[in-house]
Amino acid sequence: MRYSELLFRYGELLVAAALVAGLTAAYVALVGATTVPAAGSLVGHMMGIVGFTLMLLTETLYSLRKRAMRRPRGSMRTWLRAHIVMGIVGPYLVLLHAAWTFKGLAGALSLMTALVVASGFIGRYIYTAVPRTADGVIVEAHELEFQLAALRAAAIPGTSRDEHRAIERRIGRLERQMGALRWERRVLATWHAIHIPLGMAMFVVAFTHVAATLYYATLLR
């Protein structure tokens, strides 16, 4: 696979991996110089705030872009890539914020965050498995059917053998795309039924955790 194709297909994962590696190196250096930063320390709070903010942006910005009917900014593909990067880096910062303790509400939040991230990777696979336009919009079935009809009409006896073979290859590719599109519609509906409620439950727990932290750390002092 060429470098340009690798970036096109997996660029957001490579960017997220680079950011996670950089954060890990900084975290290891910090631990080596002092100790594991507690969740309630200044560094711990900063990691939690930045991570939680990225998680909120992950859930809101891409959804707003999908619903933007007038003057949308940026392609769906670009917004999805930003969605994936923030959806990986944000939870990783939250994990570091937890200081490797997984008890009580914080532990439940860490578990739910891991499940949401794993579900997001599955969703990305579904996304890349179906035909889309250059903007990242799903190609509708009627568009594929129209292209198939045009190709079949072009495969008339007067065409040369090479032209006929090229048309047959294109017909086969379109038929595979239609099969992928039908598969995507079924699987995506199931995935949404799991991913969205899981994400909502995660944010309910997260907001509860934030509220409890503020209450015990400030109001009770």
Q: Tell me the one-letter amino acid at 84.
A: I
The residue-averaged pLDDT of 69-98 equals 83
DSSP assignment of 155-183: --TTS-HHHHHHHHHHHHHHHHHHHHHHH
CA-angle at 67, arms to 195 and 176, nearest 5°: 65
Residue 86 burial class via C-beta count within 10 angstroms: exposed 0-12, middle 13-18, buried 19 and up: buried
Q: Is the pTM of this model over 0.85?
A: no
Give the whole-angstrom CA distance, residue 210 versus residue 75.
34
β-bridge partners, 138: 132
What pLDDT was estimated at residue 85? 92
pLDDT per position as a tens digit, 153-186? 666 656 666 676 776 777 777 777 777 777 777 7
What pLDDT was estimated at residue 143? 63
Q: Strand, coil or helix: what is 41? A: coil
Please indicate whether residue 25 or residue 181 has the higher confidence score (pLDDT): 25
Closest listed residue to residue 192, CA positions, set 92, 106, 82, 66: 66
On the question of pLDDT at 24 being above 90, the answer is: yes
What is the percent of the chain where pLDDT is above 90?
12
Residue 61 burial class via C-beta count within 10 angstroms: exposed 0-12, middle 13-18, buried 19 and up: middle
pLDDT per position as a tens digit, 119-156? 888 887 777 666 555 444 555 555 666 666 666 666 66
Give the whole-angstrom CA distance, residue 200 versus residue 135.
28
